Each structure stands twice: as C-alpha cells, then as structure tokens.
Structure 1
Amino acid sequence: MRRFLPLLLVCLLAAAATAASSARSAWWWLAAGPLLASACLGGWDLLQRRRSALRNHPLVGRLRYPAAEVRVRPGSGDAREPFGGDRDAYEYLVPSLRPVEPAEEPPVVRVGGPDCSQPYDMALLNVSAMSFGALSSRAVLALNRGAALGRFAQDTGEGGLSEHHLRGGGDLVWEIGTGYFGCRGADGGFDAREFADKAALPEVKCVSLKLSQGAAPGSGGVLPGVKVSAEIARERKVPVGETVVSPPLHRVFSTPRELVLFLARLRELAGGKPTGFKLCVGSRREFLAVCGAMVAEGLTPDFVVVDGSEGGTGAGPAGFAGHLGMPLTQGLITVHNALVGVGLRDRVRIGASGRVATGADIVTRLAQGADYTNAARAMMRAVGCVGALRCHTGTCPAGVATQDPLRAHALNVADKARRVGRYQRETVRDAVRIMAAMGIREPAELTPGHLVRRTQPGTVRSYAELYEWLAPGELLAGPPESWETDWKAADPDSF
C-alpha cells in the first residue's frame, strides 16, 4: 500500500498546516491552502473511474499524465511507443484521382476453407493474443466486452480459456500453446477430450495453434511467479507462485506433415470450426516444408497468423524482439508468396500482427498480402496501459498487466470496454476511408502496387516492383531460380 503514502502524507500536512493557521498564525494558510487543494485532488483521483493509474497512484500518477494521455486514435504514431520504434520511413499508399464513396458497413473476411463446416466472418482489426495471467481478469473482460460491442474477435493468448474470456459475450479465437493450457493433461500434454468440450462452446469461433510469436520465437512463453495467483494456477494446472515456462516446442508433432495432420485433428475435435496456426517466420525453407505437407496430404489450415519479430510486450525478453525472426513485412510477403506458389492461397486466410495501430497500418498490411490484422499493444493502450514497462513485476500502475486484485480493481471494465470498441471502430473506419481515397471498394482489391517506398532521393518503387510475387501454382509447375534452392530443400517430413 506504499503507493497511497504520498496522499496520506499530504493529508497529514494539510491538517497540520490548517491547525497551525488557527492556533498560531494566519500565515500558515499559505501552506494549508495548496496542501488542502492537493488533498482534495488526491481524493478525486481515488474516486474517479476513468483512469486506473490515478486510482492506484493518487497524485503521484499525475506525474505520468503525458503518458496516460496518449490516445490510441487513427493517425497517432505514439500508439507504438514505448514497446517499439517507428516503422519504415518514406512509404505511402497511392491515392486515386477517382476515389469512391467509403463503404457504410465495415468489411469482414470469411475464414474457413473447404474442410471447415463453421466458417467465421473476421473483422479487419481484432485483439491479438494476450492471455489471462499476462493481463488481469478485468483487462481480459474489458477487451472481451469491447469485442462484443464492436463485433470483432479476441485471441485468448496461450494461457487458456478462462471465465473472464467467456463473461463478456465477445467472439474468441482460442489459442493453444506448447503448454496446452486449458486442455492440459496430467502429464502436461494435450488432452483431446477437454479440448473438444471447450472448443464446442459457442463463444469459441476459431482455434489457433501457437508455433511461435514475435516477442520470443523459438522460446516458450514465460509467466513470472509473482503473477501466478491461485486462480491462474487453477486455470493452467500449475503450482501457485512458481514461474511458468512453456516448452519451446510442441509434443504432439515433430514434422511439418504431423503438424498439418494435427491441425486437421483439432478442426475435427472443434466440430469443424476454423483452425489455423500462428508463427514468427524464421526460415523460408521450413515454411515451404509446411506448404509441401499441405499439398502432399491435401489438407490446409483455415488461416495463418504471421507475427512480426518487432512484436512483444514489456515482459518480452529484451534480447529477442527485433533480432530473431523476420519482421512482419518480410514474413507476411514470404507466407503469402509460399501459399500462392503451391496453389493454396485461396483456401487459407492470412492474419498480420505486429505494430498495427492505425487505419493506414491495416491498409498497408492488406496490400502486403494479409486478409485481416490483429493488434496487441494498441488494444492495451485502449484498455488503459500507460507504458510503464512493469508487466513482468505484477505492479502495473494501470491494473492492466497485474494479478494484484487491488491494483486490478482500479480498472473500470465498462469504461475500458467502450474505449476498446470505439478504438477498433474508428480505426477500421479510417482504413475504409483510406481505401476509398485510393479508389478501392473492397479489401481484396488491394495489391502491392498500391504501396510505394522511396528507396533513394528521387526514386520511388512500388512493392510490386520491390519484391518478387509468385503466380498461383508456380512452385509446383517450376519454381523460379530465387526460390528453387529452398523449395527443393523443403521436406514435409523434417523441419
């Protein structure tokens, strides 16, 4: 409770100064006046319900006011800070001399291939993977209610499917990580029966198998022991208060072919709901091996979420982000090209996550090959994050990334849910307006030619010119020289 000591000290000093002004000299009012005003301001900080950082840190929290004032609104570059730097410079989207009227209804993307019996209409912007454990119960609930208000999806993260994900009425993408939390057997492996029971819940619209993430590709997720409360331990079937380190790899498959077959099994267990996987791309050859397994087995995931290496949170390993794996642009283009090259792009939708915060970000990623986008840090901002970078300590001043019930209680769920829904709605609306200014009526009309980069003074080139784009089935018919080595080395039976 040390965070309330400054307010207590101010109140004591105000009382002492007021007593001195009555008993000794009226000059004491020069001190009593400001102290009483500060005490009243601190009392208001405790009572107001909009800013959880001020409720948790009355008076002192106002020193962070500039950070707390950062709004996640279209056009705000600050939405990416402090977790990442600026995006690539000198890029722009190409406007048209014949723009069109913006669509009245926000576009959606149908997710579900030929083996999917319960397809889902995905919004252009959704909540990226953030688990209960990394986030507080109230933050999870606010995100879910925001998703319900805005009719978009929330990815549960790898921490399991908690009651807080289910209470708000929002659509869910249930993420299964290497720890199999939420469907974890006594031996720590995958429990098919528990998975099937939970996947049947109406709130679960899609299932996503996490292979890796931008914050820590090649490494399992970590939840510090200080955040492993009794409720978290019960949800994840782990000891209370002990740091949870997920394995770096899955136990249920060890080859690309086994991965594809396991995805098909998950979809069957989930009653035909869309099933896919998330990864931060490292080796092009390895992803081509997965594509080769899809072709060989005649099975495809319904979606692939590409996470950029620039992703991460305040709890991510400092040495990983931006150093392991492909940045989102390169990873996205690689996955899109590979699926096109094996003739399966029309069966698989691609999601993009990593530094997505504005309408322009959405349009940029769609032009690079994505069908929809996910956002994590921008959604955290919308739910109240002030960027304190204390996610791993359990002492988040905004009640967002903590399991301390007193700190979390400061987060007003109803207010933050409205902010999340409003942020998503306005950001997608901004993306639709940008596309209309480009003469684009539907997201599917966007091409790499609509995105231009200034490569040197006086020279600009579109993404259609900067990157190689494969034709449908080109890898099967005869790969170009630039892809030939990786395609020949890709083995469906070996990563």
Structure 2
Amino acid sequence: MRRLFVLISTFALTATFCLSYFLNPNWYVVFGIVVVLTILGYYDMVQTKHSIMRIYPILGRLRFVMEDLRPKIYQYFIESDIDGRPINRIDRSTVYQRSKKENDTMPFGTQLDVYSEGYEWLCHSMAPRDFHSLEQDPRVVIGNKDCLKPYSCSIYNISAMSYGSLSSNAVEAMNAGAKIGGFAHNTGEGGLSPFHLKHGGDIIWQIGTGYFGCRKDDGNFDENLFSEKSRLDNVKMIELKISQGAKPGHGGILPAAKNTPEIAAIRHIQPYTLVASPPFHKAFDTPKGLITFIQKLRDLSGGKPVGFKLCIGHKSEFISICKAMIELDIYPDFITVDGAEGGTGAAPQEFSNYVGAPLLDGLDFVQNILTGLNIRKHIRLLASGKITSGFHIIRAMALGADACYSARAMMMAVGCIQALQCNTNKCPVGVATQDPKLSVGLVVEDKKQRVANFHKYTVESVVELMGASGLDHVKNITRSHIYRRISFQSMLTYEEIFPSYETGSFLKEIPRRYELDFKYANADKWGFSNIGSWSN
C-alpha cells in the first residue's frame, strides 16, 4: 500500500501540475490539494505511533473517523429501544418527555420480553387507591436523636456531581430546578460553589477524601472552614463520601489544566496544579474513627443531619462500622448506598466494570444488617445507582431505601444525550464540560424548569404505582411487592430472593450467611483479615 501511494501521489502531482501549467490555471487549486494530501501521506508513512497509518497512508486515518462516529451511528440508527447502554432508549425517552412535559405514555404495549430471565414487575391490587387521595409529594424526615436540625427530604433527589465535572450552567440549572421542585441537590466532592448556592435550592454538601472546600494547605480537614460553610442556610445535610459506585476504592485526579483559578478558589487548592484525591480519608483510620468524625461534623455544622455514602465491598467492614455505632452509641443520620452501576465518575474500566456490589445486593445487605442489629430506627437509607424511573424508586424502597438519588437522569433532564464524552471535556450539549464555547448552549432558564418537571412527574409515577398496589404510603412497600422471573417457569418475589430479617434478630443469633462476616468484623480495625470478636 505504501508503494502504491508513492506511485499514485507522484502521478497525481505530475498530472495536476501539467494541467495547471499548460491547460488552465484553475487546476492549481487541485494541484494544491494534491500537494497537501501528498505531504500528509508521507507524514503518515514516517510517523511511528500508528501502524495502520504507516501501512495505509491517508486511508488509515478513516479508521479513527469511524471510531469516533461508531457510538453516534449505533445510538441513532442501530440500537433498539431496549438495548442501549448504559441507559436504554426507553428510559432516556421517559426522562426527556417528562422534563419537557410531553406525552410519556407508550403505545401498543411493552417492548420488553416479559418471559426473559431477569424481567421484573410490581404486584398490583384488586383494591387500588385513588391517586388523588394519596400524598402527592411523599417525603422522609432525616435526623436522629443527636440531630438538632432534621431535614424533610424528597424521595427523589439529585445525586452527587461536582462543579468541574459539570459546567456551571448545568449546576445552576439543577439547583434552580431543585428550588422549584422542593428537592435536594448533592454537590459532589468538588465542594460548594457559587453555582450551587446562587438559586437557593436545598444542598447536600458532600465531603470527599480531598476535603475540597474545607481543607488546609496540606490537604487535611479544616474544622473552621467546614463549620463556616456547613452552617449556610442552603446546606441542609452533610454527606461524607467513603466510596462511590463508579470507582470504589479509587481516588480522583484533577488535571492541572482543569484546575482553573475559579475551581481552585472553590476547592481551596493552588491553581494550575495537579491535585490527587487519595482513595482513603486522612481524618480517620478505623471504624470508630469514622463514627467519631461523623459526630464531629454534626457538632461543627450546628446539629445538621450527617451521613456517609459507600458502595459495599467487604461486608465485614460495614459490619465493623455498625459495631462501632453500637459501642459508641453514635449513629449517622443517614447512609447512602451507591451501586456499582453508578456512572457519573470517570474511572478505569476495571473499576467501573468489576469493583463494588451492585445496588440491589448492597441495599439488601445494609438493610438486613441494620435491621438485624436493631439500629435501623436511628438511620435513614438513601439509594443511588441508575435510578431513572418510578419503578426503579419503588424497587429500591422495597429493599429498604427511604429515598433515592439520581445523577444521570438529572443530566438528561438538562440536555445530556448520552454521547459518552463526559471524560473528554467535549460534551456536545454543554453539560459535562468546562469549555465555555460548549456550555453556552445550555440555557439555565429553560433547563431549570425541565429538572423540576422531571422530578415532579417521576414522583407522581411512584405515587401512582403505590396506589395501584393498594398502598397508602411508600413506607408500606415491601419485598413481597416485587417479582422477578428466574426462569421461564419460575417467578420469585424479592422476599424469596432477598430474605428479610426481624428487627433485633441478629442480637440473638447471627444468620449462617453472615457468620464469617461478623467473625472478621472489628470496630477498631479495617480489613477483611482483621478477625474481631462479637459479643452482645
């Protein structure tokens, strides 16, 4: 192919030069194009980075063009309504339709294969409740005995996404939408920005391992900065991030190029420097240390609800935290269980694909442990991880969630088209970018109402589903309300798949399935290999 390129380019150069010199000067335009292509082809032949370009000069570049076009062509022309990933077209369309107040009904029946393994459905009642007789905006109060300022939280809220990962316009639109709809907006670990505070929406301030927004120059936690910011009226709760589903056990890196003076000021770091968030917290190093730190945050914030977020890994480590709670008689106001299917944090594919427990398994485990140890009464459970519809919320509540978060659905409400360019700073709709030429396309005044609309109609769908099941409150949803097809001939309820336990039952006898986890749990140490003792 290289030899053929040399022959063709030589012939083309000679022919176009002769035509332009002897026949018509207009051919000089064609000659100029041939010269440029020839230079490009010879460059391809001598460069050493791409083998395909060395072997196929110019033509080899088409491979990279097709690689770039592939996901776009697949999404718009090939994928069906049910097989798009990570969010299928049915769920994406539902978000778009609800956010725009368009018709979100489906014609001609379901496209799902109701006889396929894994298909799930909600049991309805022959005595359903009238939608208008039910509470239209169900809420849950978060705050235990140590909390001085409980928060009435919507059952559906905006999950953690930082300014820096999202554009300022996207953050503003989400917070303004939260203000209109009366629900909460999680800041992500990037800190409190002016864009989170500008519109007055309720804020859940997330504190990550980098302590952005409340850190000293050496990267350690700054009590004074935290106390000052956590007492702002907008800040309703504080969430300590232990891990996230997209990349549990992996720290984050803010490249120097993205560390602008504005972002640096918000995060209390030096601008234009690479900043690495460690995968662990420096403020504590034991389960008891975590619980003590939570109490410190609660005191520093003036008694606001404080909880922590994690994706379940070693089960024994979560049990270690529960042992620490019981021994110290200190409890977080809430725990957020994030599923491994969570996806707003860019991460190595090994972490995204193979690390951490999926939401349903993690939520089932946390609910069982808290209930079995008789400490569930102190703690509210929040769930996050690919929750985009009313059924997803109902399903999470059946496993124990009191309320839910969503990140990607809220991104779609402000215009995300799942272009899968979040980690390139080239988001084509201005959501996940810091490029002002792109973010200008996202108009806050338009998108804020879409966020509020999507929340409103999704919560209404939860209420409608609840009424169809004959229930009068979301707290009455149980595992017996959800069925899953195990095989063509077998259907089981969630209660059969994920057996629940009586309150306090673990204090009498540890179930066999959790015996080893309790054996390895130690309130004074992290780690699966740290064998501890358990006593009532």
Once the 2 structures are TM-superposed, how far is the Cα of residue 78 of structure 1 from its aligned partner?
3.4
Please say if residues 247 and 345 of structure 2, whose CA atoms lie closer than 8 Å, have aligned partners that are also in contact. no
1:479 matches 2:519: no
1:357 matches 2:423: no
In the other structure, the counterpart of 1:391 is 422
Task: Structure 2 unaligned segments of length 5 or more: list them.
Answer: 1-71, 82-86, 96-112, 527-536
Once the 2 structures are TM-superposed, how far is the Cα of residue 438 of structure 1 from its aligned partner?
0.6
CA deviation string 1:64-102 (max 9, x = no partner): 9959xx9xx999323699xxxx99831111111111112
1:94 matches 2:108: no
**Aligned counterparts, 1:222-301, within 5 A:** 222-301=253-332
Equivalent residue in structure 2 for 1:448, among 475, 479, 486? 479
Task: Structure 1 unaligned segments of length 5 or more: list them.
Answer: 1-61
State the distance in 2 between where 1:314 and 1:64 align.
Answer: 23
- 1:332 maps to a residue whose letter is L
State the distance in 1 between where 2:280 and 2:462 align.
Answer: 37
CA deviation string 1:440-491 (max 9, x = no partner): 1101101111111111121111111112322211222221222222113211
Once the 2 structures are TM-superposed, how far is the Cα of residue 173 of structure 1 from its aligned partner?
0.3
1:194 matches 2:225: yes
State the distance in 1 between where 2:145 and 2:508 align.
Answer: 23
**Aligned counterparts, 1:73-222, within 5 A:** 76-78=90-92, 89-102=118-131, 103-222=134-253
Once the 2 structures are TM-superposed, how far is the Cα of residue 171 of structure 1 from its aligned partner?
0.1
In the other structure, the counterpart of 1:6 is none
**Aligned counterparts, 1:13-92, within 5 A:** 76-78=90-92, 89-92=118-121
**Aligned counterparts, 1:323-342, within 5 A:** 323-342=354-373
Please say if residues 74 and 359 of structure 1, whose CA atoms lie closer than 8 Å, have aligned partners that are also in contact. no
1:467 matches 2:498: yes
Identity %: 45
State the distance in 2 between where 1:255 and 1:79 align.
Answer: 45
Higher relative contact order (CA 8 A, sep 6+): 1
State the distance in 2 between where 1:479 and 1:179 align.
Answer: 37
Once the 2 structures are TM-superposed, how far is the Cα of residue 230 of structure 1 from its aligned partner?
1.9
Please say if residues 141 and 168 of structure 1, whose CA atoms lie closer than 8 Å, have aligned partners that are also in contact. yes
Once the 2 structures are TM-superposed, how far is the Cα of residue 312 of structure 1 from its aligned partner?
1.4
SS of 1:260's equivalent in the other structure is helix
Divergent runs of 4+, >6 A: 62-65
Go from structure 1 to structure 2 and tell me whether the alpha carbon gap of 1:122 and 1:225 turns closer, same or farther (over 3 Å shift): same
State the distance in 1 between where 2:471 and 2:339 align.
Answer: 26
State the distance in 2 between where 1:63 and 1:233 align.
Answer: 38
State the distance in 2 between where 1:314 and 1:478 align.
Answer: 40
State the distance in 2 between where 1:133 and 1:362 align.
Answer: 28
In the other structure, the counterpart of 1:29 is none
In the other structure, the counterpart of 1:47 is none
State the distance in 2 between where 1:443 and 1:153 align.
Answer: 19
State the distance in 1 between where 2:171 and 2:256 align.
Answer: 19
State the distance in 1 between where 2:167 and 2:303 align.
Answer: 31
Go from structure 1 to structure 2 and tell me whether the alpha carbon gap of 1:80 and 1:190 turns closer, same or farther (over 3 Å shift): farther
State the distance in 1 between where 2:516 and 2:159 align.
Answer: 34
In the other structure, the counterpart of 2:447 is 416
Please say if residues 310 and 355 of structure 1, whose CA atoms lie closer than 8 Å, have aligned partners that are also in contact. yes
- 1:309 maps to a residue whose letter is A
State the distance in 1 between where 2:218 and 2:274 align.
Answer: 18
State the distance in 2 between where 1:222 and 1:411 align.
Answer: 26
Go from structure 1 to structure 2 and tell me whether the alpha carbon gap of 1:79 and 1:189 turns closer, same or farther (over 3 Å shift): farther
SS of 1:233's equivalent in the other structure is helix
State the distance in 1 between where 2:512 and 2:303 align.
Answer: 39
Please say if residues 429 and 441 of structure 2, whose CA atoms lie closer than 8 Å, have aligned partners that are also in contact. yes
More displaced, 170-179 or 378-387? 378-387
The aligned length equals 428
SS of 1:232's equivalent in the other structure is helix
TM-score relative to the length of structure 1: 0.82
CA deviation string 1:269-313 (max 9, x = no partner): 111100000000001111001001000000100000000011113
- 2:128 maps to a residue whose letter is P
State the distance in 2 between where 1:185 and 1:152 align.
Answer: 31
Please say if residues 260 and 293 of structure 1, whose CA atoms lie closer than 8 Å, have aligned partners that are also in contact. yes
1:436 matches 2:452: no
In the other structure, the counterpart of 2:344 is 313
CA deviation string 1:150-204 (max 9, x = no partner): 0000000000011110001100000000000010111110000110000100000
In the other structure, the counterpart of 1:5 is none
